[in-house]
Amino acid sequence: MKIDLTKRGDYAVRAMLALAQHEPKGLLSGPSIAAEMSIPPRFLPQVMGDLVRGGLVEATTGRAGGYRLARPAAEITLLQIVEAVEGDSRRTSCVLRGGPCRQDGTCAVHDTFMAAQDGMLAPLRGTTLAAVSGGDDRRTG
């Protein structure tokens, strides 16, 4: 098993870290986020659009515009960030068949793999942006 982020997921986490570290200071411009976090400037608007649609970021347009967190970093989890840009992280197909499990129930290994999946996602679900950005050392419940 492997756990990977796409480039889009990588850029989203980095952008959110920049916003969390800049949180009390107001708006942060797109070019500033891109430069600070080594994100290619041409990809940043797409990623930020996903984060805005996901309710994690607010955007203000215009010369003095930029981005800021839509809510405190302590209320945003890493899983929420990843899923805002990559979609639902949970497996929806059978690990044995590549499609739905049998019509009469689940396959023989379904429960074990679902428990493993939940175990892998739990740390992302339980770690806040504040915890990894230096703004807070607490994790969610």
- Is 97 a residue whose pLDDT tops 70? no
If pLDDT is split at 50, 70 and 90, which confidence band does 26 have? confident
pLDDT at 102: 64
Domains of the chain, first to last: 7-130 (1.10.10.10)
Instruction: Extract the tokens encoding 135.
Output: 């703004």
pLDDT at 93: 67
Task: Count how many Cα atoms sit within 13 Å of the Cα of residue 65 in the half-sphere of its side chain.
Answer: 8
Instruction: Please tell me the distance from the alpha carbon of residue 24 to that of residue 121, in angstroms, as a whole number.
Output: 29
Site of tokens 């981005």: 67
- Is 136 a residue whose pLDDT tops 80? no
Type of residue numbered 34: A
Instruction: Please tell me the distance from the alpha carbon of residue 88 to that of residue 86, in angstroms, as a whole number.
Output: 7
Average pLDDT over residues 123-139: 80
What is the tens place of the pLDDT at every residue in 72-93? 999 999 999 999 998 876 666 6
